[in-house]
Chains A and B, each alone.
Chain A
């Protein structure tokens, strides 16, 4: 039985993930929002499925990818977006906007209560006021804004995104849009004739011209507001257009783009609750995209699948499980639990890898392009190295490290995703796959290794000081692992840093510019060099190495996150107020661990002679490692 336990645990974990992944059946009584969610559109310079637009927009506005209504009813992001696009009056009532700042609430004469979500309808009377206040705080740098100023600006940006979404596929007040378009198409040629006649000074039909002028004004507004470019390019040289833009262009051609008409029917069907017509036409739009834009459609469908599978959340859960199993293996049943942890980690890594590779495919880029993806990659790299250690040493330590780092980095990534699309387009200077693939990957691999060395040191200190489980053999292998990982980190950090310099030399003629991010990278290299030289010179031994590896966590976190918060230099990605307390907390925790590690060895439970002995048990005295 015990022999099969690891396999059983693995099977249960895999089965529960598979259960999460099973698609829900759509009957003909439902709106087929899944099909609609796969249709590609262009937002933020990237072709993506509507489902991604829904998730990211809801994340920006609401802070979550799902909406919970009063009474506990849940609304998927796609359901919410469909209402926003096609049935604005209903969507206006959803409590999506987050406001927690008492001063902002006070602006509207509302008292702070436990309610923090508000609907667009509630803000309607205050839109002008919000915009004025936000415009004022927009003049300040992010760092200078007060909590109120940030909150009002956030609210304005959320409201404006929402209003633009509402006018993306049709005017928000459209009743029977298909009929409206039909009328528009019918009047355009007559109006064009009238306009010609007027310019020639002949008698012209004024009513016809006025009618079409009003409509053009309406579509101009639509084109200014649109957030989503939903109309695909027509020929080789054409580009994506918004519905409004496309309608304005049809004045010249006299023809409305077929997709615009199809979308209009979809919207009308949705409003009158005609599910069959809705599903038929969504299918029709999807099919015509598949014909005219095969590549975009394929990619969008894949991204839709990627969104649904949520590989990083799935592997996050598995990492926690593996970490617990590995820790438990130090208490008893060690072989079985350790093997279970290892198998679970392999599964987690496979899913993690799938997520990473999928992102690379979707973006057509090397793995790391922004802070979010760096977190995912750091976790991935550290898990692989830790699993190799586990394979060599077979003592649960590598497995525990893999579980812990995998989980923590994915949690960090999860919180970094709040600002919307994590597959955003790259600024011109970053538009080079060679350097992204070499410099950025090498640097982040260096971060992975530093955090892994730090994690090994945490295990050494915690197990040594607080438990009796750190035997001499374990302590020695921990030391060897840490040393090896620091060597690995040195190599990658150094190469990565210099490659960064070479990239800088290639792109703006300066090998080294003392930019904060460069300085952060060189701090890691210097710290690695100090650790290695101190060890070769015999200035530190086991414990010294561990204390220095702990400090390596601080140096690396400063380099990864801290320098970005300074808000200077070429690598600054904006001030991250929210992350600041977490970073400081992490650094303090590492300093605390270093202090604990500095306790005299007889205070370490693993190295102190056992005080309470049960009768008959041999006294356990592990030889203390030499002080470092």
Chain B
């Protein structure tokens, strides 16, 4: 029995099956991007154990194809197992060993990146300073206690919790928060412009004059969902303070008083705080003369890190990111009127893996095919002689 399992996991057939399944998956996942967008397709097809059908919204779903993690995982096991079983050192096999060792590093690195890499954005107008970056998709409900002298106390509730429309009870807050309506994507309209029969979902703050319309989730790479929700504040000593509309589309946080303290509440992109700050000095957007074709984007920023007594100017431009304390800042975009820069902030502990793997695999392939070539030309020389 064990023998059989070992045989299966070390067989070349399994390798080929996995590779073929990988091709089918990538093909299907690529086509799916047209309809559901890169991010959604990536989650459904590549960063999953199974591809499910029907995808969402029905009472049941069944797995119809192995997902990226499953195929990649089996391939990794297959690769390692086959080499453990058959490994015999010989110079002739050097190329094969190198190639596969490199692939193992690459696959493992890919898995590691999938699990641990964090990508976020930092949007800075000229002169802005920030010590946090924002997630591109995830949202949080920030409840801020502003009564402290120097520091605000922030309680952040992730959208994964909000989504279930539950009552949230947290020890740090003197009230509970009942999430009434949560929209993953929405459009806000003034009641006067929203047409007949439109009702506000809140009764406090500006939200009492705003109608919320649900919208289809964004699929294009450059679009972002606008999540909105109605939240009712229920003091823990009983009663209700009313319902507020919170939305990514509303700019400033809204204020209310409870338990003798002043609170601010807002729905905003999830934040990642950093022990240092970045200030935008100047964003430059060069175009080729007489055209709209962008020639270069660059952001001149000041990096200030009191902990490490760093205070210096840095120029971030295309293909030249800033790497600092395990994070990398890239010039990713800009506000259409050039008034603000958008930096992509990436934390990826295994970014070095593909570099190493690439060198090893390329060397392995060269050695392997080199052997073939030498063997082939010897064979021919003999055939001609």
Binding site for B on A (CB under 8 A): 42-46, 229, 239-240, 242, 392, 424-425, 427-429, 431-432, 435, 480, 484, 487-488, 490-491, 494-495, 498-499, 501-503, 505-516, 519-520, 522-523, 526-527, 529-530, 533-534, 536-537, 539, 555, 558, 563, 566-570
Contact = CB atoms under 8 A, between A and B. Distances in A.
Given A431-B319, A508-B344, 19 more contacts: A42-B290, A45-B290, A229-B289, A427-B294, A491-B369, A495-B362, A498-B358, A501-B354, A506-B319, A507-B330, A510-B346, A511-B113, A511-B351, A516-B33, A519-B30, A523-B26, A526-B26, A533-B15, A566-B31
Nearest to B43: A514
Given A427-B294, A428-B318, A45 B26 contact: no
A362 B148 CA distance: 65
A242 B13 CA distance: 66
Which secondary structure dominates where chain B touches chain A? helix
B362 A45 contact: no
A11 to B, nearest CB: 31
Nearest to B291: A45
B156 interface: no
A-B CB proximity, top 7 nearest: A45-B288, A509-B346, A498-B358, A537-B12, A45-B291, A428-B294, A519-B30
Contacts of A527: 23
Given A229-B290, A507-B319, A509-B330, A502 B16 contact: no
Contact of B29 (A502, A511, A519): A519
Contact of A568 (B22, B221, B348, B358): B221
Contacts of A46: 288
Contacts of B354: 498, 501-502, 505, 511
Nearest to B22: A526
Contacts of A515: 38
Contacts of A429: 318-319
B366 A491 contact: yes
Given A480-B376, A510-B119, A537 B291 contact: no
B84 interface: no
A498 B360 CA distance: 12
Interface string B1-36: 000000000001101100110110011011101100
Given A428-B295, A491-B366, A539-B16, A45 B33 contact: no
B280 interface: no
A552 to B, nearest CB: 12
Contacts of A558: 27
Chain B CB within 10 Å — which of A480, A484, A490, A516 has the most? A516
A494 B376 contact: no
A491 B344 CA distance: 32
A480 B379 CA distance: 12
A509 B348 contact: yes
B362 A514 contact: no
A44 B26 contact: no
B70 interface: no
Contacts of A239: 289
B361 interface: yes
Contacts of B385: none
B52 interface: no
B41 interface: yes
Nearest to A483: B372
B235 interface: no
Given A516-B30, A537-B13, A487 B369 contact: yes
Interface in B307-350: 318-319, 321, 328, 330, 332, 344-346, 348
B293 interface: yes
Nearest to A392: B380
A425 B291 contact: yes
A557 to B, nearest CB: 13
B203 interface: no
Contact of A499 (B297, B344, B358): B358
Interface in B85-132: 106, 110, 113, 119
Given A240-B290, A428-B295, A523-B27, A508 B330 contact: yes
Contact of B372 (A484, A495, A514, A534): A484
B283 interface: no
B321 A507 contact: yes
B41 A509 contact: no
Contacts of A511: 110, 113, 348, 351, 354
Interface size class of B (residues with CB under 8 A): 35 or more
Nearest to B362: A495
A626 B163 CA distance: 61
Nearest to B292: A45
18 contacts: A239-B289, A392-B380, A425-B288, A425-B293, A428-B296, A487-B369, A495-B365, A508-B330, A514-B29, A514-B42, A520-B30, A522-B26, A523-B23, A526-B22, A533-B15, A566-B30, A569-B33, A569-B221
B46 interface: yes
Contacts of B293: 44-45, 424-425, 427
Contacts of B16: 530, 533-534, 537, 539
B216 to A, nearest CB: 16
Contact of B33 (A240, A502, A568): A568
A244 to B, nearest CB: 12
Contacts of B288: 44-46, 425
Contacts of B289: 42, 45, 229, 239-240
A395 to B, nearest CB: 13
B38 A513 contact: yes
Contacts of A513: 38
A513 B348 CA distance: 13
B372 A487 contact: yes
A509 B46 CA distance: 19
Interface string B199-218: 00000000000000000000
A488 B19 CA distance: 19
B332 A508 contact: yes
Contacts of A506: 319, 321
B355 interface: yes
Contacts of A516: 30, 33
A337 B80 CA distance: 53
B51 interface: no
B129 to A, nearest CB: 22
Nearest to A520: B30
Given A494-B365, A511-B351, A527-B23, A431 B346 contact: no
B303 interface: no
Contacts of B294: 427-428
Nearest to B96: A536
B310 to A, nearest CB: 21
Contacts of A425: 288, 291, 293, 295
A522 B46 CA distance: 13
Nearest to B23: A526
Contacts of B332: 508
B297 A428 contact: yes
Nearest to A505: B351
Contacts of B361: 494, 498
B357 interface: yes
A514 B28 CA distance: 12
Contacts of A431: 295-296, 318-319
Contacts of B113: 511-512
A520 B27 CA distance: 8
A361 to B, nearest CB: 19
A444 to B, nearest CB: 17
Contact of A44 (B34, B290, B330, B380): B290
A530 B19 contact: yes
A300 B343 CA distance: 39
A351 B69 CA distance: 49
B34 A530 contact: no
Contacts of B355: 502
Interface in B211-244: 220-221
Contacts of B295: 45, 425, 428, 431
Contacts of A519: 26-27, 29-30
A401 to B, nearest CB: 18
